[in-house]
Amino acid sequence: MPADQEERLDCRDAILVAVRAAGPGVLGRTTLQKILYLAKIKRLVDAEYSAHYYGPYSEEVFGCSQSLAASGFVEERVHRLPGLPRLGLSQDEANERTRYAYEATEDGKSAAEDLLRTSTAAQHLQDLIGICKGLHVLDLRTLAGATKVHYVLHHQHELMTAEEIRMRAKDFGWRLNSDEVTRVATLLVKLGFATSQQVPKSDDLEELLEDD
């Protein structure tokens, strides 16, 4: 994807393309936030992000996803973990034990397909999601870890060890272990969000890069 990409999607259009490209039930509230954060870094979507409990978070993305659900372009399904108590949970605890899954309705699919026919940014976003699917990294834990590490690196503007990234992440209220930092940093290189010089070295980094 060109770094100087001029065309950018607004949040509503980006969500429609992302949900359609990922497939039914793949993206939820948090994974949608993370994939659009990566799209923002690629300059494919306009959205403001700040540090949040689960990593970089955009109120705009959340608001647009709720608007699309209310207007019938996407369906948001709620899944609760088995044995979840009905009473006595704080809101944060309830959110932790609740999973959301998005699916495009027929209107949503049609709108997304129109965008994919006419928008280069939409096509690039679809490509990004396709790469993530191919690497099997569209899960909550991996995307949350990868976006947290990228957020730290982006705001620090210097080379850091895995331990330094872990400690800086604590300043944002994020708990990462050094092995996880190294693993997701390697993924960032694979996806083109960092260079091998910017991230902590891992034993499989060279092997991973040679797979390209």
Q: Averaged over 12-25, what is the pLDDT? A: 96
* Same-domain pairing of 119 and 17: yes
Confidence at residue 93, expressed as pLDDT on a 0 to 100 scale: 44
Backbone torsion region of residue 133, taken as left when φ is above 0, otherwise alpha when ψ lies between -120 and 50, otherwise beta: alpha
Of 177 and 210, the structure prediction assigns the larger pLDDT to: 177
Residue ending a domain, choose from 96, 116, 135: 135
pLDDT tier, 155 (very low <50, low <70, confident <90, very high otherwise): confident
pTM of the model: 0.82
pLDDT of 27 above 70: yes
Assess if residue 206 is contained within a domain: no
Confidence at residue 198, expressed as pLDDT on a 0 to 100 scale: 67
pLDDT of 91 above 70: no
Residue ending a domain, choose from 108, 135, 162: 135
Of 1 and 154, the structure prediction assigns the larger pLDDT to: 154
Buried b (16+ CB within 10 A) or exposed e, 93-121: eeeeeebbbbbbbeebbebbeebbeebeb
Assess if residue 212 is contained within a domain: no
Which DSSP helix (H) or strand (E) runs through 9? none
* Same-domain pairing of 130 and 182: no
* Same-domain pairing of 107 and 37: yes
